[in-house]
Amino acid sequence: MSAFLSYLVNGLAVGCGFALVGSGLVAIHRVTRVVNFAQGTFAVVAGLSAASFLELGLPHGAAEVVAVGVAAGAGLLTGFVAIGRRGTDPLASLIVTLGLGVLAYAVEIVVWGDQPRSFAGAPGSVTVAGATVQWQYLLVIAVTAVTFAALWLFFARTYPGKGLTACASDPYAARLIGIDVRRMGLVAFALGGLLGGVAGVLVTPLQPISFDSDVTLIVNGFAAAVFGGLSRPVATLAGGLLLGVAEAMVAGYLKASYQIEVALGLMLAIMIWQATRTPALREEAM
């Protein structure tokens, strides 16, 4: 029982990281219809930046906040390159984000090297039903809950959030009432960078991160986002938690090398399930 609880908490914490990456994908796709394949890079940049800032003597808390700011800046820069030119096709922007993700490998190797890096998280642990749980796992879960609550408030209660929602619902109508859809797209990219950055600084103390860690993050983040149809942050959170727990159980009871297969298998199953539901939903709408 203690082993099961340990795997469960581990899976929930890792799943929170997947959900944060996936929510960044959702925030960008809702507004721009672009699948940002550089999303995992934002988490890597934030994790590596936080490690560097801590080595330079910046205290915990400040280092992580500045690192998240760096990731948000990287997201904004990605947005300028991907959608900065008016009329850019979403498919072309998708290819641009893929290219930027590959370019980021070279930049990260030059700046941080090719060896995995990490830093200490919240110290100590707590015993729950015989299972020893690190405080960092609980911190990840708590910060993710606060982040998603803030994300809901942002979209529901603020003018920029309502502007993003309007662009997601009907870009043409949003233009007619004076909303700059391109500017909202850049805000969405910055928000995606911020969410990816939060994932990076939370997960790096649990799993050392390197320049190529974005592959695992984007695959799992995309799988979580697909669970929500690339449009619903709350469903993305549910998908990330489901994926994280499934992978933790597979790693604990079978082999850790099967984790990526679990992510791909679940993503494929969800896509098939959604494809079978779409005709029925359209018939109901008619």
More confident site: 165 or 109: 109
Q: Is residue 132 within a helix (H) or strand (E), and if so which, with residue range?
A: strand 131-134
The predicted-structure confidence for 219-234, as pLDDT tens digits, reads as follows 888 888 888 778 788 8
The predicted-structure confidence for 252-285, as pLDDT tens digits, reads as follows 777 666 766 776 777 777 777 766 765 544 444 4
Amino acid of residue 63: A
Which of 229, 224, 225 shows the shortest CA–CA distance to 277?
Answer: 229
Predicted pLDDT at 284: 42
Mean pLDDT estimate for the chain: 85
Predicted pLDDT at 40: 92
- Rounded to whole angstroms, the Cα distance separating 146 from 155 reads 14
Predicted pLDDT at 282: 45
- Rounded to whole angstroms, the Cα distance separating 202 from 68 reads 10
Q: Is residue 218 within a helix (H) or strand (E), and if so which, with residue range?
A: helix 214-227
Share of the chain above pLDDT 90, in %: 40
The predicted-structure confidence for 20-38, as pLDDT tens digits, reads as follows 999 999 999 888 888 999 9
How confident is the model over 62-76, as a mean pLDDT?
Answer: 95
Contact 133, 6 (CB under 8 A): yes
How confident is the model over 73-99, as a mean pLDDT?
Answer: 89
The alpha carbon of residue 248 and the mean position of all alpha carbons in its chain are separated, in whole angstroms, by 18
Q: Three-state SS for 127? A: strand
Does residue 148 have a pLDDT over 90?
yes
Residue 285 zone, left/alpha/beta (φ > 0; ψ -120 to 50; rest) = alpha
- pTM score, whole prediction: 0.88
Contact 104, 45 (CB under 8 A): yes
Q: Report the interhelical angle of 135-157 vs 233-253 (nearest 10°).
A: 160
First to last CA, the chain: 50
- Rounded to whole angstroms, the Cα distance separating 108 from 212 reads 9
- Rounded to whole angstroms, the Cα distance separating 108 from 105 reads 5
The predicted-structure confidence for 137-147, as pLDDT tens digits, reads as follows 899 999 999 99
What is the pLDDT confidence band of residue 125, given thresholds at 50, 70 and 90?
Answer: confident
How confident is the model over 231-244, as a mean pLDDT?
Answer: 86
Contact 236, 23 (CB under 8 A): yes
- Rounded to whole angstroms, the Cα distance separating 249 from 247 reads 5
Does residue 162 have a pLDDT over 90?
no
Predicted pLDDT at 1: 62
